[in-house]
Amino acid sequence: MSKREEKEAPGRSVAMATHFDRELLAHLARRERIRIEIQAGGRAHLSRLMFVIHHDHLYIRSARRDNAPWYQTLRANPQATLHVGRLHLPIRAVAVQDEQTRKRVGEHFVQKYVYLHPSSTRTMLYEQVAETTFRLEPAGVETPV
């Protein structure tokens, strides 16, 4: 199967990888926010979140520190679904512990959002906010809707 056929094959399996493919990252890089579906209390909740890409990884963090419901839910259950167009991609959220990575991710948030959302962008640099950083990783099978 060619790479193009693999990308277009509905329901194909995806190896357990820690990176999204570059084509998807390039597509996401043109967006202001991503949509993530999180299961909480037996119901699905869709959140639109600010994000950045750093070294081919996708990162999110909570400007509301640990008070954001989506953050609390992902801490309790790191499995979620990234919505990209008609694709629903299973993901897992991995808490970022490395301070240097959190610092670089914060710099990317400032570069991307400082003109769009100046007040919430400033909060992205606070240490309590940096501690809420998640790296999103592929977690399984792609399923078109």
Task: Give the CA diameter of the chain.
Answer: 48
Residue-level pLDDT at 119? 77
Domains of the chain, first to last: 3-144 (2.30.110.10)
Residue-level pLDDT at 17? 61
Residue-level pLDDT at 44? 92
Residues of the chain with pLDDT under 50: 1-16, 142-145
Q: What is this structure's pTM?
A: 0.81
Residue-level pLDDT at 141? 52
What six digits make up the tokens of 134?
């998640």
DSSP assignment of 88-136, as one string? EEEEEEEE---HHHHHHHHHHHHHHHTTT-HHHHHHTTSHHHHTT-EEE
Q: Which residue has the tokens 């699905």?
A: 44
Residue-level pLDDT at 64? 85
